[in-house]
Structure 1
């Protein structure tokens, strides 16, 4: 059966963010058929630790029957109903209330989407619409950051600060600019870069600044403690809206319900997806501040010509409510904080026992290990060695699924296991990472040093 599935995959399934050539030559790398807690099992019967929570999103773990049960119950009652033309239904209303109750500060009104890319595109449109209603329609530009990942829809691709995503279709939308990120830079340097962008573009043309609290796909880049307060102050100085992209960091991932809470900074808009349903059903949204919502209510006329067929999907809303209930009942943000600290201690021990580990970092259950040629000098390996790729495959061989980042000649291994993980499982990951790094050291040989 597995062989037949592999052939069908090659013939009919175009995979996202994958090598088409590799798929056609070798078929799918793995065909998974079962998930249980932090584990995935493939059609060959091999079991792996899902140390990425699949795509940073299976926060409550695999195989939670509670979400299936609530989905079934909602489908039998009202599987789908439109939210257009002010139509409404109970699950979306209750979910909007719930998200408003747990979101930081004055973020109290929610626009629902089907996922993260839609959420960020929506945030950009709402920010521009806000300024248009306020009588400043020239404020259209969005400032993002290098190494940022904000999705692959039209606008969110342009906000993404990783050029490989722009190159795919050969297009880049106007009115998007990128400042420096605080990776190997001080807060002062990153803030100065953003100030220069603002002054060059003209503050009167800028609608919003968007940032992930922790840059995920860019390599789990955790900002300095004073960075986001400085960003908030700069946005206030120039009258720029601040959008927090919480698509990876939301719903407990960083040890807080939302990532920006680690720095006590209040955004004007907050986007979410992934962890809101732990990936059990596609869903996302944008939460806006009272000030933005009040402007929409007071000055809007006619129809808000923006929306998706599945905005406020009843079944997805019911699943999200149950997912949030589990996060709170099991205190999973606190567990993420505790287990993240244990993971960091394990990474530090591996660094002391091996030759090629540079920086290691975690915040909650977001973590990264950098592989470098000379840790003392932070000298990186030549890109042609493909050290991160070798490490990922070594981890696969040891039964751990995680993710490499190789942009800008980095070799970073990212980790984001489900928030239900326990101490024993963390220690198993650490042991397997140690063994994988040792295997990579042997593979690349002394000539690499």
Structure 2
């Protein structure tokens, strides 16, 4: 079958049978899949028509070691041939899960020491909420059930994780959110303190935060914020949960983003980069004191677990993935290439009128779009137009356009080199200028062009 005929067949089947996550059902039916990818290598993907694109998002913030890693396929095959899967219920175990748990304990900061495995980030979030509430229950404080999260936070799409998410469109999909979830201002420690005082510390189980908000627009905490958060949680006897699903495993130029701030959470939530997306896996790692309290105070069975908790093949891939990150010094490369990425963003900010605030921490960053005449966002979001132009030119990026934002976000694989960063910036520049020229031609910018 010819490639074009195969594409049309797949598009038709896709429309009929595949409900896509976080996608417009109507657009899917009208336009079909914009790309049907068939292979990847390094920072590039190739689709069924032979088009090659630079993946500026590591798919969903997660392909940290890049595409086409045969080592990961080989270790998965070897583990599957020996023992693909056995459950971890009733204290049964397997060697890859044991070794990965020990490895995570050795590379996470401080005394984070005991691991509960999940299948992904949403499950890690729901697990952490349940463990926090269970912890206080067995400590004789069952009234401590409330989870405080932040506005613009994204924590996943399970019921608990959706309820913790502070992005309204996600919450508005259903009217049946879980109780006892509260949201405070994104970077206001005063807002957190006031919320605790209002609700009563005796009713609050935990505060959860992403060290860098990802889907909320790549929002980077100001100096001192997380240090003060840690103090407040200690002062009021509240657990601090760090959602490092996106930021873990080198994304920010540190192995874990909490290391930028010198704070140790009571629980760290992991997924995505733990296997670089080669196989599903997530984890919650807790501090030694919590682990010992759970052992000493609990009775009977810990009635929480997923079929694939501690999946042997996933854990074997996770171990090899971390080995690659360490062996190839990808955390340092993330820091260095992140500096190059930010330099490129700043140059675009200086040269192009519609570029507003730019920011990056390691290889996670954002470019905001503004109307230079009003110094505010346009009436209609412009970032999706830039993203569409970039896709035409061979670059995949994402947009954040809810709650007053008009933002392009970036998260390329940690293997990216300087030439590839320059390619990303070059395509982004062309795309921004194309959109800006269209705005000029439409009279929206009233004669404004590039900055001079």
Q: Please report the TM-score for the alignment, with normalisation by the length of structure 2.
A: 0.96
Is the aligned partner of 1:24 residue 2:29? yes
Q: For structure 1, which segment, 162-171 or 272-281, has the greater mean C-alpha deviation from structure 2 after superposition?
A: 162-171
Is the aligned partner of 1:287 residue 2:292? no
Question: Unmatched 5+ residue regions in structure 1?
Answer: 183-189
Q: Secondary structure at the match of 1:144?
A: strand
Number of the residue aligned with 1:199: 197
Superposed, 1:229-248 pairs within 5 Å as 229-248=227-246
Number of the residue aligned with 1:349: 347
Tell me how many residue pairs correspond in the alignment.
Answer: 439
Cα deviation for residue 79 of structure 1 reads 0.2
Number of the residue aligned with 2:18: 13
Number of the residue aligned with 1:332: 330
Cα deviation for residue 171 of structure 1 reads 2.0
Cα deviation for residue 398 of structure 1 reads 1.5
Cα deviation for residue 380 of structure 1 reads 1.5
Cα deviation for residue 378 of structure 1 reads 4.0
Superposed, 1:70-89 pairs within 5 Å as 70-89=75-94
In structure 2, how many angstroms separate the alpha carbons of the residues matched to 1:91 and 1:202? Answer: 43
Is the aligned partner of 1:381 residue 2:344? no
Q: For structure 1, which segment, 438-447 or 276-285, has the greater mean C-alpha deviation from structure 2 after superposition?
A: 438-447
Cα deviation for residue 352 of structure 1 reads 1.2
Residue from 106, 118, 121 that aligns with 2:123:
118
Aligned-residue CA RMSD (Å) = 0.9
Residue from 206, 211, 214 that aligns with 2:212:
214
In structure 1, how many angstroms separate the alpha carbons of the residues matched to 2:251 and 2:444? Answer: 39
In structure 2, how many angstroms separate the alpha carbons of the residues matched to 1:297 and 1:239? Answer: 20
Cα deviation for residue 149 of structure 1 reads 0.2
Number of the residue aligned with 2:444: 447
Q: Secondary structure at the match of 2:126?
A: helix
Residue from 128, 143, 153 that aligns with 1:138:
143
Number of the residue aligned with 1:166: 171
Cα deviation for residue 221 of structure 1 reads 0.2
1:120-155: CA deviations, max 9, x gaps? 000000000110111000000000000000000010
Cα deviation for residue 168 of structure 1 reads 1.1
In structure 1, how many angstroms separate the alpha carbons of the residues matched to 2:226 and 2:147? Answer: 17
Is the aligned partner of 1:420 residue 2:415? yes
In structure 1, how many angstroms separate the alpha carbons of the residues matched to 2:434 and 2:405? Answer: 19
Number of the residue aligned with 1:401: 396
1:1-30: CA deviations, max 9, x gaps? 111000000000000000000001111111
In structure 2, how many angstroms separate the alpha carbons of the residues matched to 1:419 and 1:243? Answer: 25
Number of the residue aligned with 1:107: 112
Superposed, 1:223-234 pairs within 5 Å as 223-234=221-232
Q: Please report the TM-score for the alignment, with normalisation by the length of structure 1.
A: 0.97
Q: Secondary structure at the match of 1:108?
A: strand
In structure 2, how many angstroms separate the alpha carbons of the residues matched to 1:419 and 1:215? Answer: 18
Is the aligned partner of 1:93 residue 2:95? no
Number of the residue aligned with 1:391: 386
Number of the residue aligned with 1:372: 370
Is the aligned partner of 1:433 residue 2:428? yes
Is the aligned partner of 1:321 residue 2:319? yes
In structure 2, how many angstroms separate the alpha carbons of the residues matched to 1:398 and 1:225? Answer: 37
1:7-61: CA deviations, max 9, x gaps? 0000000000000000011111110001110001110110000000000000000
Q: Secondary structure at the match of 1:447?
A: coil
Number of the residue aligned with 1:186: none
In structure 2, how many angstroms separate the alpha carbons of the residues matched to 1:369 and 1:292? Answer: 40
